[in-house]
Amino acid sequence: LLLNSKLRIIPLGGLGQIGKNMMVLEYDGHLLIIDAGLMFPENEMLGIDIVIPDMSYVLERKDRVLGIIVTHGHEDHIGALPYLLSQLRVPVYATRLTQGLIEVKLRENHTNDVERHVIAPGDVLPLGPFRTEFFRVNHSIPDGVGLAVETDVGLIVHSGDFKLDSTPVDGLPTDFAKLADLGRRGVLLLLSDSTNAETPGYTPSERTIARIFEDIFARANGRVIVATFASNISRIQQAISIAHKYGRYAAIAGRSMSNNVRMAMDLGYLKVPDDCLLGIDDIQHLPQRQVAIVCTGSQGEPTSALVRMARGEFQPISLLPGDSVIVSSTPIPGNEELINRTLNNLFRLGADVFYDELLDVHVSGHASQEELKLMLNMVQPKFFVPVHGEYRHLVLHARLAEQVGIPRPNIFVMESGQMLELDSQSAQIVGRVSDDYVLVDGLGVGDIGEVVLEDRRLLSRNGFLVVTLVMERGTNQVLSGPEIISRGFVHVSESEELMDRAKAEVLKTVKDPGNRAYLNARIKEALSRFVYNETRRRPLILPVVMEA
């Protein structure tokens, strides 16, 4: 029995903002999720650790979700998995390296017992009404894939994050033949990465960085510190290889990067020359000219190794004049302030600092305009939805599609939370499921701090609720509370009945034996839903759970 003969495409994140990518395909009552990422908070969300998509649409249809397919291992594609998987028991499908990164992330967040399957480019995965084929794409991380999903309605192609690099660091270029083949078979809908739709021409190869890095390494008299994303395996590979070439030992600073490096070495995605890699404590006694350090912090993340070094708060390493620091990434919108503060601190310590505005120490992992047009030309879709980008990127990508001959009515510039319905002949945006953020304070550690109280924008509009309760350590026994304090939302004294029911809602959530690590997030979500249903308002909700 066909519940709805139309195929639904529901982006829950990543359209209209960079980050927190998550896409849902729904057909015949079945849901398939593609990616579940996080976003670093925008300036106005000061104090919030990470932002993940509003997943209510899938959480309200839990038993109809067939699985999660992950295109690659970047945070903006896997970062929300611990949260999603703590509430949804479905299998996760991804390539070997991506699974490695997912495993590290799940372990860090104490999310266990997840059914995971390794897929490879060329594999075919039938799940309910969706038959997914995987094809290789280049990106700034190895082992990325795009997807071709065959349905009764037609063939859907999802590019993942991609560029068309002819000389990728791992030697494995995007599968052009497959793309052309899909084009010949007839593609109903293409969803394609828009991150770089502003940039004319072609994105330079990841390999071009090597020359610039070599230059810096060749001239440096002190230590060389390279900061990039913990998941940017290709960049880490280049830093280590070049360090070795110039007679330096490399050390990895920072827990998440160390975990990723160890995993990528085990799986063979990172090739480290013998004895080149030392522990951070072992390099301290070496002459400075023999030392390279690879670390996180290129986005100014407050707890990262680079930021702590810049503040003089990183125990094993004190930066000195003559040390060189390469900050190898472009600022994610919203992080500029944090990055600038870090750069200033590094200069203050007398380091030679190399960053994007000064020198091309970073190349994008995303396709520029000519590559985007090539993708459109190869796949020749009937309908087109630009994905992964801020609103202007989506519009610019839509214009490129028009240039290569896709009729304007067949192009849909969508934002996260909207829903597109397709049959084999037509497509239209039919509504909105939600367009919300879920703000997570210290996902998995329950760390709250002073946080959200600085979030004046949200506060001034909707006020806030602070929920406090004391629980017995190691059980889900509530010792006292919950108490709810409200400011700027409702007067608690005038809404006793509402507050009583809100407290009951919190108790219900607490007693539900889910993953303890996400208790704060679960309370926040349950209460937020309750309050919204009752009042149509979205106050900021700040759970404070104490253990006794």
The residues annotated as belonging to the active site are 193, 366
**Least distance from Zn ion to the Cβ atom of residue 158, Å:** 12
481-520 residues near Zn ion, rule: CB under 5 A: none
Spell out the alpha helix ranges (H) of 117-247: 176-185, 208-219, 233-245
**Least distance from Zn ion to the Cβ atom of residue 456, Å:** 29
Interface stretch with Zn ion, choices 56-64, 74-82, 301-309, 370-378 (CB under 5 A): 74-82
Q: Does position 74 bind Zn ion by CB under 5 A?
A: yes
Interface stretch with Zn ion, choices 160-168, 205-213, 220-228, 503-511 (CB under 5 A): 160-168
**Least distance from Zn ion to the Cβ atom of residue 335, Å:** 15
Q: Which long-range contacts (CB under 8 A, 24 or more apart) does 335-339 make?
A: 335/40, 335/299, 335/300, 337/43, 337/300, 338/299, 338/300, 338/301, 338/302, 338/307, 339/298, 339/299, 339/300
Q: Does position 163 bind Zn ion by CB under 5 A?
A: no
Q: Which is nearer to Zn ion, 76 or 133 (CB)?
A: 76
When binding is defined by CB under 5 A, the residue of 28, 35, 75, 76 that contacts Zn ion is: 76
Q: Does position 20 bind Zn ion by CB under 5 A?
A: no
Q: Which is nearer to Zn ion, 28 or 76 (CB)?
A: 76
Those residues whose C-beta lies under 8 Å from the C-beta of residue 164, and which sit 6 or more positions away, are 138, 173, 174, 176, 202, 203, 367, 371, 374, 375
237-296 residues near Zn ion, rule: CB under 5 A: none
Structure tokens given for 47: 């104090």
Q: Which is nearer to Zn ion, 146 or 482 (CB)?
A: 146
| Residue 376 CA, distance from chain mean position | 25
Interface stretch with Zn ion, choices 68-76, 112-120, 200-208, 479-487 (CB under 5 A): 68-76
**Least distance from Zn ion to the Cβ atom of residue 75, Å:** 8
**Least distance from Zn ion to the Cβ atom of residue 14, Å:** 7
Q: Which is nearer to Zn ion, 142 or 446 (CB)?
A: 142
| Residue 150 CA, distance from chain mean position | 26
* Angle in degrees, 0-180, between the axes of helices 176-185 and 369-379, rounded to the nearest 10: 40
274: buried, middle or exposed (CB in 10 Å: 19+, 13-18, 0-12)? Answer: exposed
**Least distance from Zn ion to the Cβ atom of residue 22, Å:** 11
Q: Which amino acid is at 273?
A: P
Integer CA distances (angstroms), 460 to 46, 450, 508, 516, 532, in order:
14, 17, 29, 31, 17
CA angle 410, 19, 204 (to 5 degrees): 80
Q: Are 362 and 209 in contact (CB under 8 A)?
A: yes
When binding is defined by CB under 5 A, the residue of 161, 352, 455, 505 that contacts Zn ion is: 161
**Least distance from Zn ion to the Cβ atom of residue 18, Å:** 8
- 25-50 in b/e burial notation, b at 16+ Cβ within 10 A? bbbbebbbbbbbbbbbbbeebeebbb
Q: Which is nearer to Zn ion, 84 or 452 (CB)?
A: 84
Rounded to the nearest 10 degrees, how much is the dihedral formed by the CA atoms of 499, 451, 21, 29? -10
Q: Which is nearer to Zn ion, 74 or 524 (CB)?
A: 74
Number of residues that bind Zn ion (CB under 5 A): 3
| Residue 188 CA, distance from chain mean position | 27
Q: Which is nearer to Zn ion, 76 or 455 (CB)?
A: 76
Interface stretch with Zn ion, choices 60-68, 156-164, 227-235, 261-269 (CB under 5 A): 156-164
Interface stretch with Zn ion, choices 2-10, 76-84, 421-429, 506-514 (CB under 5 A): 76-84
Q: Any idea which residue has 């801020």 for tokens?
A: 390
**Least distance from Zn ion to the Cβ atom of residue 492, Å:** 42
Q: Which is nearer to Zn ion, 76 or 170 (CB)?
A: 76
Those residues whose C-beta lies under 8 Å from the C-beta of residue 519, and which sit 6 or more positions away, are 446, 509, 510, 543, 545
Interface stretch with Zn ion, choices 75-83, 164-172, 331-339, 526-534 (CB under 5 A): 75-83
396: buried, middle or exposed (CB in 10 Å: 19+, 13-18, 0-12)? Answer: buried
Which residues lie near Zn ion (CB under 5 A)?
Answer: 74, 76, 161
